[in-house]
Structure 1
Amino acid sequence: MTTYGRMRDELVEDGRLRVAINLGNAALAARGAEGGGLEGITVALARRLAAALGCEPDFTVYEGAGKVVDAAGEDAWRIAFCAIDPERREHVAYSSPYVLIEAGALVRAGSPLRHVDELDRPGMRLLVARNSAYDLYLTSHAKAMDLVREADPGASFRAFKAGDPQADAVAGVVQSLRKAFGDDGAYRYLSGTITAIGQAMALPKRFEHLAPDLTRFVEEAKADGFVRRELDRAGKTSLTVAPAETG
């Protein structure tokens, strides 16, 4: 494994690396069964980086990616895991992506909607998690639908289950929707994908000069099969490892 002396010198404090873990994306991180510890690809990557830096990871849990990004300016963490989005670059610096995931949508069983493309029309109201990658994507690309924002993915799912009369559908990372709603016959998953999202490791903006080093770390973890093995270990066999960065 490559030596990362510059990152160790600037990011490690008293032998610990402060890491933000987003539990709003069930595809990437979760709590273990029966009160177990954190698990998933983001946790595995954080532990691997800490080992490479000769320190221990110090985890702080957040319920949504927007909250992770908001905390970047509060000196709350040194490493995080976020979907890549241009608007977030004002606050964080990214590595190359380590995995690609998809965002989709779910409706109530009686809805006439069948495909996510049918959502973008006048009068249609879609529940989203505020400042999630799909919220930011839809804010830039949707032409006619109204976005109804909740604080985090869990809050948006709970609002839809509670029968929020404003919402015709709820959006989310496909794996998170499946975890929250399962095969409940009261709901139906729409065909199609809202967007495919590259997930990357992140640094607070003031450490942007370390982003190339973090990219080297991510590319090494992809090249030696670590990312694929950890996704499979977590049961996320359907997730796609991001292509190697070239150039």
Structure 2
Amino acid sequence: MWTRREAVAGTITALATACSTQSTPQAQTLSATGALAPTGKLRVALIASNPVLVTRRPDKSLGGVSVAIGNALAAHLGVPVELKPYDNPVLYNESLAFDEWDIGLAARDPSRAEYLAFSNAFMEVDNGYVARPGAAPTTAEEVDRTGVRIAVAQGSAPNAVLKRLIKNAEIVPVPGGFEPAREALATGTADVYGENLHLAYRIADALPGARVLPGHFNVVQMAIGVRKRAAAALPTVDEFVNKIRSDGTVQKAIVEAGLRGVRVP
């Protein structure tokens, strides 16, 4: 039977052991780094055709919100960054099945959940329509009517949403990016183009007579997609996202990219 002194000593030993094995913030970050960047660098997938996420600088290098966040996360983890741009959402979606990258900065899309676990949203994006000159719809609510053709980037988050929402209009998939969108409206292939409002305004600015319709059909949450193998690191990623939302990092990137129709959650 234990004496009082032995019981106290045993309690102290147990507490010391618990404290020594308790994970510190530094240890958590170190563990997350190993999970997120197993090659020793953080490979960041980008959808280059989405101007809300990626912009092209005059020297052709990549910039924008997702690049700023990818660089900031790599610095937070203490590893180099490697940007892995994909020309459109279809190519990004196809890459999900291969070990070409560690995190993806894109929409929190349920169709990608087989491969990814998603962080808290770092940015919210309104999705709406830009109409070609002379098109009948005058608001977003009037688009889902028989005879209306809706162009949308194939494989994109707006495409997935519209496939669920639209009951009467015709959906016309086109390649992602500014030029295919503008072309679909300029040639009359579609009556409206459904996308983030920033791109919608750019198209309206470039196509005389085109107009952005009042209203929106969805709000997209942009998040960091973490490979399922690294899902245990998600609390560290969420902590990082909360920090860059509150310290102005995301807002600064939004302003520098000149984005419209987006906001920090």
Q: Same fold (TM over 0.5)?
A: yes
Measure, in 1, the Cα distance between the counterparts of 2:61 and 2:179: 23
Does 2:4 match 1:8? no
Measure, in 1, the Cα distance between the counterparts of 2:169 and 2:229: 36
Could you tell me whether the CA contact under 8 Å between 1:106 and 1:187 is conserved in 2?
yes
**1:93-112 → structure 2 map (5 Å cutoff):** 93-112=117-136
How far does residue 88 in structure 1 lie from its aligned partner after superposition?
2.1
Could you tell me whether the CA contact under 8 Å between 2:196 and 2:261 is conserved in 1?
no
Q: How many residues align?
A: 239
Does 2:197 match 1:179? no
Q: Deviations over 1:124-181 (max 9, x none)?
A: 211111121111111112221221112323464154145143x221111111223344
The amino acid across from 2:32 in the alignment is M
In the alignment, structure 1 segments of 5+ residues that lack a partner are: 243-247
| Paired position in structure 2 for 1:239 | 262
| Paired position in structure 2 for 1:84 | 108
Q: Which moved more, 1:49-58 or 1:15-24?
A: 15-24
| Paired position in structure 2 for 1:72 | 96
Measure, in 2, the Cα distance between the counterparts of 1:45 and 1:194: 27
Measure, in 1, the Cα distance between the counterparts of 2:193 and 2:243: 36
2:64 to 31, 40, 54: 40
| Paired position in structure 2 for 1:119 | 143
Q: Which moved more, 1:210-219 or 1:155-164?
A: 155-164
1:134 to 158, 164, 167: 158
Could you tell me whether the CA contact under 8 Å between 2:185 and 2:193 is conserved in 1?
no
Q: Deviations over 1:92-148 (max 9, x none)?
A: 211010111111111221122211111112232111111211111111122212211
How far does residue 83 in structure 1 lie from its aligned partner after superposition?
0.9
**1:187-206 → structure 2 map (5 Å cutoff):** 187-206=210-229
| Paired position in structure 1 for 2:43 | 18
Secondary structure of residue in 2 paired with 1:90: coil
| Paired position in structure 2 for 1:207 | 230
| Paired position in structure 2 for 1:222 | 245
Could you tell me whether the CA contact under 8 Å between 2:204 and 2:211 is conserved in 1?
no
| Paired position in structure 2 for 1:168 | 191
Measure, in 1, the Cα distance between the counterparts of 2:68 and 2:188: 37
Secondary structure of residue in 1 paired with 2:113: helix
Could you tell me whether the CA contact under 8 Å between 2:35 and 2:229 is conserved in 1?
no
Could you tell me whether the CA contact under 8 Å between 1:156 and 1:170 is conserved in 2?
no
Measure, in 2, the Cα distance between the counterparts of 1:31 and 1:240: 21
Could you tell me whether the CA contact under 8 Å between 1:65 and 1:82 is conserved in 2?
no
> TM-score when scaled to structure 2?
0.82
RMSD: 2.1
Instruction: Give the direction of change, closer, same or farther, for the CA distance of 1:13–1:205 in structure 2 (3 Å limit).
Output: closer
Secondary structure of residue in 2 paired with 1:227: helix
Could you tell me whether the CA contact under 8 Å between 2:130 and 2:193 is conserved in 1?
yes
